[in-house]
C-alpha cells in the first residue's frame, strides 16, 4: 500500500485523516474487535485511508490493532476510520467473545489431560 510522501514525513496530522474527530462514532471498537470488509459495497468516494482499511479488511477478519499496525496509523485514527466504515455498511465489526462465554479453565485442562493420556 502506497502512502503519500507527505504522510510519511509527518506533514499530514492524524486529525486531518479523521476530519478533526478524536473519537469514533461508536464506542464499541476496542483493540481486539474483529472487522471484515463487505465486498458488495462501492469504494468510490472513500478517502485514501478508508480505501486502505477496506483493502485490508476484504482479505478476511482482522482486529483493530492489526489494521492499525499494518497501516502504521495510530489506533485512535483507525478506530475513527473503522467506525465511519461500519456506519456506511462497508465493514462489519464483531466484538470478541466475552469472558463469561469462554469455557472454564478446568474444562480445558481436563480436555488437554484426556488428549495427552491418549497419546
Per residue in 6-30, pLDDT (tens digit) is 455 455 566 666 666 766 676 678 8
pLDDT exceeding 70 applies to what percent of the chain? Answer: 72
pLDDT on residue 8: 54
Sign of CA dihedral 49, 52, 56, 61: positive
User: For residues 15 and 26, what is the distance between their CA atoms, to the nearest angstrom?
Assistant: 17
Q: pTM for the whole thing?
A: 0.68
Residue carrying C-alpha cell 499494518: 70
The total of structural domains in the chain comes to: 1
Range of the domain at 16: 5-118
* Span 81-106, average pLDDT: 83
Q: 95 Cβ partners below 8 Å, 6+ apart?
A: 28, 30, 33, 34
Residue 86 predicted with pLDDT over 90? yes
Phi-psi region of 39 (alpha: psi -120 to 50; beta: other; left: phi over 0): alpha
Residue 110 predicted with pLDDT over 50? yes
Amino acid at each position: 500500500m502506497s502512502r503519500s510522501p507527505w504522510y510519511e514525513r509527518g506533514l499530514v496530522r492524524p486529525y486531518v485523516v479523521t476530519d478533526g474527530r478524536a473519537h469514533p462514532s461508536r464506542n464499541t471498537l476496542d483493540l481486539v474487535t474483529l472487522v471484515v470488509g463487505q465486498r458488495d459495497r462501492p469504494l468510490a468516494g472513500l478517502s485514501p485511508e478508508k480505501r486502505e482499511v477496506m483493502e485490508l479488511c476484504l482479505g478476511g477478519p482482522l482486529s483493530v490493532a492489526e489494521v492499525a499496525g499494518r497501516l502504521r496509523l495510530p489506533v485512535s485514527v483507525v478506530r475513527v476510520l473503522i467506525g465511519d466504515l461500519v456506519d456506511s455498511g462497508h465493514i462489519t465489526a464483531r466484538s470478541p467473545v466475552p469472558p463469561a462465554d469462554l469455557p472454564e479453565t478446568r474444562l480445558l485442562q481436563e480436555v488437554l489431560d484426556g488428549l495427552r493420556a491418549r497419546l
